[in-house]
Amino acid sequence: MKQWYTIHTKPKAEYQVATALQRRGIQTYLPELDSPHGRQERMTKPFFPCYLFARIDFEVTGLSQVQWTPGLRRIVAFGDRPVPLSDEMIDLIRRRLDGVGGRPMVHDLHRGDKVRITDGPLQGMLAIFEGPSTPSERVQVLLTFLGQLSRVHVSAADVHKVSTAAQAPILKRPRRTRGQGRRIKYG
């Protein structure tokens, strides 16, 4: 009976292993993450580095046929028995990734965009979007707080772009010195 198994690969060999298994007629699932690379180009990378999932029937396909795939380290197992995953677990991973736009960190925000935090202790504050924080649906924003610019990590769902008409300026405190302690006199 075909079941899903977790495949542990060598670093940066996920695509190589997935392609090799697919050539042998084995169904694979490699969750991906879009990551911004420059302004125009987008790159995809594995959501779980060094891991992918394969649907295998070990009664038909021998364990050794899969184990000797180039780039594969091992099939995740307890003892000498590969551990199967339920179809529901794979469906849950797919739904979670699809629930946030197909790939977790894809949103319409770009570095430097002005955003408003809509939930949590910083609700209502304006900030500057800096970029994704981790694959766990969090982002980094720069927030002016107590006269200083601070980097804050918040949930991606709690950040919304402020339209250009509604953007309030983020105030920057005026310079006090010209350097080396020479004061600037305003007024």
Task: In whole angstroms, give the CA distance from residue 27 to residue 40.
Answer: 32
For residue 123, is it within any domain? yes
Domain boundary among the residues 54, 72, 99 is at: 99
Question: Do 54 and 28 form a contact (C-beta atoms < 8 A)?
Answer: yes
Same domain (yes/no): 124, 55: no
Residue 129 CA to residue 107 CA, distance in Å, equals: 11
Distance of CA 62 to the CA centre of its chain: 34
Q: Please indicate, yes or no, whether residues 118 and 150 belong to a single structural domain of this protein.
A: yes
* Whether 9 and 42 share a structural domain: yes
Tell me, yes or no, if the pTM score tops 0.85. Answer: no
Report which of residues 79 and 6 the model is more confident about.
Answer: 6
pLDDT of residue 79: 86
148 and 63 part of one domain = no
pLDDT for position 91: 87
The C-alpha angle 10, 13, 16, rounded to 5 degrees, equals: 135
In a domain, 90, yes or no: yes
Do residues 8 and 69 both lie within one domain? yes
Identify which has the larger pLDDT, 141 or 99: 141
**Residues of the domain holding 122:** 114-161
- In the predicted model, what is the mean pLDDT of the chain? 80
**Mean of pLDDT values over 24-53:** 78
**What pLDDT shows up at residue 56?**
94
Is there a single domain that holds both residue 71 and residue 120? Answer: no
Mean pLDDT of 34-50: 68
Please give the Cα distance from 176 to 174 (Å, whole number): 6
* Confidence at residue 74, expressed as pLDDT on a 0 to 100 scale: 93
Which pLDDT score, from 0 to 100, does residue 55 have?
94
pLDDT tens digit sequence for 81-94: 899 999 998 888 88
